[in-house]
Copies of this chain bind each other. A is one copy, B any other.
Amino acid sequence: MAHRWYGLRSLSVETAGAGGEAGTYAHDVLAVVLRITGAVPSVLLWQRAREPQAGRWSLPGGRLGPDEDVEASVRRHLAEKVDLAEVAHVEQLGVFSDPHRGPAPRRIATAFLGLVPTDADPAVPDDTAWHRVDRLPETAFDHGAITRDGLDRLRAKLSYTNIGFALAPAEFTVSELRDLYAAALGHRVSATNLQRVLTRRGVLVPTGEIAASGPAGGRPAAVFRYSERGLRVTDPFAALRPPGEPG
């Protein structure tokens, strides 16, 4: 029978060297913090000063503390690298647990995705910098793969949620938002379509203001904002919805 261990205080009392008691593991939290810079997303990385992997770049994070859950922990560790108030959205990506994802002793990591609006440019410590995701430096451990997972998650959610609120400034024109989406998605985006889709879904609302016209002339653009500042799934998204309900 299995599960005998459950509820036992200590199955094994041998001390497994410096790695902690057998069957327990250090648990880390990591954050893929993304921000649109110019025409591409960038990720927040810090450079390791010492072994292992000295000189390589790591995702922000740290060890899970005894009195916090993983989300509280990642927020605590993030606060050491950026102003938490600038991180507009945080969600869990998943667990990375390959026994050989780093040197012994083994570490388990729960990864998160964090998003920072373009108009925020938080100060960062000396060892920390934004790196374009299309030109990542040498990353430590599996942090490159985790970064790609985070970017994939962002791209997927841009199309069926209002997650753009966490990348955009509080107010913006449709053109600015188009550039933002194009940078995040990695392909051109139609401003016409973007505006229609997002307003029809109710995620974008006009403020009524008109932006000062750009440097090269042209018709001044209307100012919009996201109707909600928390994550919401907005796609109809459900073929086979309950009969009689609107799409």
Which of B58, B105, B108 has a CB less than 8 Å from the CB of A9?
Answer: B105
Chain B CB within 10 A, most for which of A5, A27, A189, A237: A27
Which of B95, B106, B160 has a CB less than 8 Å from the CB of A70?
Answer: B95
Q: List A34-48 residues whose CB lies under 8 Å from chain B.
A: 46, 48
What DSSP secondary structure best describes chain A's contact surface?
loop
CB distance from A142 to the nearest CB of B (A): 11
Instruction: Find out whether the CB atom of A1 lies under 8 angstroms from the CB atom of B66.
Output: no
Q: Knowing A20-B20, A99-B67 are in contact, say whether A237-B235 is a contact too (CB < 8 A).
A: yes
Please classify how large the interface on chain A is, using the bins under 10, 10 to 19, 20 to 34, 35 or more.
35 or more
Set of chain B residues within 8 Å of A15, measured between Cβ atoms: 15, 21
Instruction: Find out whether the CB atom of B110 lies under 8 angstroms from the CB atom of A95.
Output: yes
Q: Knowing A159-B239, A237-B235, A238-B159 are in contact, say whether A99-B27 is a contact too (CB < 8 A).
A: no
Instruction: Find out whether the CB atom of A5 lies under 8 angstroms from the CB atom of B240.
Output: no
A188 within 8 A of partner (CB): yes
A26 within 8 A of partner (CB): yes
Instruction: Find out whether the CB atom of A23 lies under 8 angstroms from the CB atom of B158.
Output: no
Instruction: Find out whether the CB atom of A243 lies under 8 angstroms from the CB atom of B18.
Output: no
Instruction: Find out whether the CB atom of A243 lies under 8 angstroms from the CB atom of B9.
Output: no
Which of B18, B51, B197, B239 has a CB less than 8 Å from the CB of A235?
Answer: B239
Set of chain B residues within 8 Å of A135, measured between Cβ atoms: none
In the docked arrangement, what's the CA distance between A243 and B181, Å?
13
Set of chain B residues within 8 Å of A9, measured between Cβ atoms: 18, 105
CB distance from A50 to the nearest CB of B (A): 6
Q: Knowing A18-B9, A20-B21, A25-B27 are in contact, say whether A3-B240 is a contact too (CB < 8 A).
A: no
Instruction: Find out whether the CB atom of B237 lies under 8 angstroms from the CB atom of A159.
Output: yes
Instruction: Find out whether the CB atom of B243 lies under 8 angstroms from the CB atom of A187.
Output: yes
Identify the A interface with B (CB < 8 A): 1-3, 5-7, 9-10, 15, 18-27, 46, 48, 50-53, 58, 61-70, 77, 80-81, 92, 94-95, 97-99, 105-106, 108, 110, 125, 127, 158-160, 181, 185, 187-190, 193-194, 197, 235, 237-243
- Provide a sorted-by-A list of 16 A–B residue pairs whose CB atoms are within 8 angstroms: A5-B63, A21-B24, A23-B65, A24-B27, A27-B27, A27-B97, A67-B99, A69-B97, A70-B95, A70-B97, A70-B108, A159-B241, A160-B237, A160-B238, A185-B242, A190-B240
